[in-house]
Amino acid sequence: MNRSGRWLAARGASANAVTFAGLGLGLLAAGILAVGLSGLLVVVPLLASRLADGLDGAVARASGKTDFGGYLDIVCDFAFYAAIPLAFVLRDPMANGAAGAFLLLTFYVNGATFLGYAILAAKRGMETTSRGEKSLYFTAGLLEGSETIVFFVLLAFVPWVFAPAAWIFGGLCLVTAFARVLLAWRVFGRDGSGGR
């Protein structure tokens, strides 16, 4: 990735442009799903989107990281991750509506625990490179980006399993969120401030 990022940066590509390209490809995949198509028509732009998501950081490391670039990256990631469940709801609201809403809720809760932890870690000057060089403090979880991408690819090939799969995956997202809350309590919650 770093070599490709240096190559792109040397040819004038900006990290933010790569981030937006990744979001555009991810939204294209979601749109294809929403209109009822599936398979490789979805998987190709979906995986290209995630490749761009990895490349934007490599371009940033080659050309100079910015706080705004890190911010933009996480916002676009969250938009992509929300677009795929929404696409299944739009595809078949009766069959997928409740499961899609639940999955979006669990993504929201999981995202809040992730970003909240990152904010407190930054406030305390904590840093880690265990997940690679990132703009934000990344905490590990049961379900992360790679698992979610595998889940989305599976759904692109067998879209009729969305509803039961979304309930299961959403439940596992809540396990991840709960584990992150426990970690935050262990790291941040014993300072005598009553949790605030």
Type of residue numbered 171: G
Q: Is 124 inside any structural domain?
A: yes
pTM check: above 0.85: yes
Q: Which of 117, 122, 124 is nearest to 140 (CA)?
A: 117
Q: How crowded is the C-beta side of 115, counted as CA atoms within 13 Å?
A: 13
Q: pLDDT at position 132, please?
A: 54
> How does pLDDT run along the chain (196 residues), one tens digit per residue?
899 999 999 999 999 999 999 999 999 999 999 999 999 999 999 999 999 999 999 999 999 999 999 999 999 999 999 999 999 999 999 999 999 999 999 999 999 999 998 888 888 888 766 555 555 556 666 677 889 999 999 999 999 999 999 999 999 999 999 999 998 899 888 664 544 5
- State the Cα–Cα distance between residues 10 and 158, nearest whole angstrom: 40
- Let me know if residue 49 belongs to a domain: yes
Question: Residue 11 domain-assigned?
Answer: yes
- Full residue range of the structural domain in which residue 88 is found: 2-188
The answer as to whether 171 is a domain residue is yes
Dist CA 98 CA 89 (whole Å): 8
Residue 62 domain-assigned?
yes
DSSP code per residue over 145-182: HHHHHHHHHHHHH-GGGHHHHHHHHHHHHHHHHHHHHH
Domain annotation covers residue 146: yes
> Could you tell me if residue 195 is inside a domain?
no
The strand pairing partners of 107, in sequence order, are: none
Determine, yes or no, domain membership for 196: no
CATH number (domain holding residue 86):
1.20.120.1760
Token pair of 75, please?
């916002």
Total tally of structural domains belonging to the chain: 1
DSSP 137: P
d(CA 15, CA 182): 34
Which tokens belong to 110? Answer: 């999981």
pLDDT given for residue 192 in this prediction: 45
